[in-house]
Amino acid sequence: MATRQEVIPIPNLTGYAFGEKLGAGSYGTVYKARQITTSQSRPSSAACARPNFFAIKCINRKNLTKTTQDLLINEIKLLKHIKHENIVEMYDFQWDENYIYIVMEYCAGGDMSMFIRSRQQLSEARARPFVQQTARVLKFLYEKRISHMDLKPENILLTSIEKPILKVADFGVAQHIGKRGSRSIRGTLLYMAPEILSSRPYDNRVDLWSMGVILYECLFGRPPFVFSSVDELIEEIKSNIPIEIPNDARISSECRNLLEGLLQRDPNRRISFQDFFRHSFIFIDLSSQILRADDLFQRSITYEQRDDIKKALDYRVRALDEYVAIIKVDEDHDRRQMLRIKVKEGLAAAETLKKRISQKNLNLASISTTVSSSTENLDLTNNKELSEAYQHCLNGNQLMNIARFSQACEEYQIGLTVMLRAARTETDPAKSKILHDVISFYLNKAEICKDKNEAQQLDIDMEKIKKDNALDNTMLNESNFITERQQQASSQQNCCLQ
């Protein structure tokens, strides 16, 4: 006789209309929900400050184990007592016979993991505001002697797409760590500090290690470990080999210094909380960042005067990226306005440089299209390797024609490597001449393709800067900022009057 499959009850909380599923964790599913009732059904003290949409975590009571029940109680207890602008807010929690419901702040911008994946990796200028906001949360928790224990990009949410504020979430495994330390293994392995996996007690410095892994992932698009299994990852984390920061990374000395300080395997050598909070990468003293941006801008002008347009454009774009990042966090209204003008003028100058490079590439391309009949005279019979190499170069032509320059460069490189090797061993003078002509032709094509690829990447970078300058996700818009503050003040006054 077939067993009846148990019907899982549908979550239903009075006063809310459930929408799309936002995600599922180890012991709960989170839904987007809309409030459909009047303030009479909710406590009046919170009604005036509440938005229309919420994230509601629904925990099936039948699936709760002793461990998950403890985690749930711990999260609710903590979120009831910690309020911070960069911590996801819990508005309410209720239960019925089937579910426990935690009503939380809805963050429409997704999480930092999604943000990193959408851009592959972040520039230092992009990553810095996120790290600074997370540092504010760590300072708040440090003062309350609370360790989050599970800091990772998936637990760092963004409030919106238009103008996100970072919100740290998921305090299920957070704990107070006393003077004797803790020995419990908790958190997510990839972001877990080495001392957690040891048999020795650890303290709240484990959060600093997690912060280091997150910053590394922001800058390089991946965590600092290479592994193919859980056992390999554990060995990587427990290893005594220092974490290496790529030497060719385009990051400032202060950013590198912070990374190295955070990713010390020995917690006694790791940067302290006090030094972390006042580190030049964290503490918002913009003077050094402005000087660096000005230096990049001046280098651009110098290279332009030397007629090295490619380097001039590269430094110009890097300078603009720095200026936009400064505008996001600078509290000096007049300086922000000045920098916005500088960005606007810099973008116009960058467009002029880009046109000059495009014209130069166009002239080179027109010269390279006239090639002798060497390619037609190239004998590919009975030489499979040379034939395949030539086909790679033809593939490069096709990819370049459809503006897939990065892949085209790879095809040219593969083909030319084989052709150059063949040219060194060719003894027939006539064949050698033909092969060298073909190589010369495709070397020229490959160089043009490389220039086009760099130009295409610069176009992408410039488009990002333009978008940030106009509708930047984290840029302060003066009128909106003032209006929001006025609305908040008005809302608080109304609440007090009630």
Active site residues: 150
Which residues are CB-contacts of 490 (< 8 A; sequence separation ≥ 6)?
Answer: none
Tokens of 146: 């609370």
Picking from 106, 14, 97, 117, the residue whose alpha carbon sits closest to that of residue 51 is 106
What are the backbone angles phi and psi of residue 179, rounded to the nearest 5°? -65, -25
- Euclidean distance between the first and the last CA atom of the chain, given in angstroms as a whole number: 63
Signed CA dihedral, 291, 297, 303, 309: sign only:
positive
Angle between helices 206-220 and 124-143 (to 10 degrees): 170
Task: Give residues with Cβ within 8 angstroms of 88, minimum separation 6.
Answer: 79, 104, 105, 107, 157, 167, 168, 169
Q: What is the rounded distance in angstroms from the CA atom of residue 151 to the CA atom of residue 147?
A: 10
Integer-rounded Cα Rg, in Å, for the chain is: 29
Amino acid in the structure at residue 35 = Q
